[in-house]
Amino acid sequence: MNSVTFYQGSVKEHISNSEDVLAFLLATIFNMYGPIAYNTHNVPEKGNSLLVKMLKSFGFQDLYTDEGIKLEQVFMKKQL
């Protein structure tokens, strides 16, 4: 195992301690695989605010270009 990539993660809305549950799941993953590369792609903060908050609490950081522009994926749609 060289790396783990997070694409999505959530806890059902009716779970009262959803932050604790998500923190436990993430900690379990980090402890299971040890010191390898962890990254995430295409996890917008909108709709994933708890996951983004938890990942940042575990040390994940936003990435920026050399010019200081935050790297974000953009969804584009063209009406034909």
- Give the DSSP per-residue string, 9-58: ----TT-TTHHHHHHHHHHHHHHHH-SSEEEE-S--STT-HHHHHHHHHT
Residues 6 or more apart in contact with residue 78 via CB below 8 angstroms? none
**Average of pLDDT values for 65-72?**
88
Other beta carbons within 10 angstroms of residue 5's beta carbon come to: 10
**Global model pTM greater than 0.85:** no
Q: What's the confidence (pLDDT) of residue 67?
A: 94
| 18-33 vs 49-57: helix crossing angle, rounded to 10 | 50
pLDDT of residue 23: 93
* pLDDT per position as a tens digit, 10-61: 888 899 999 999 999 999 998 898 889 999 888 888 888 889 999 999 999 9
Both tokens of residue 2? 């060289």
Report residue 79's pLDDT band, with 50, 70 and 90 as the boundaries: confident
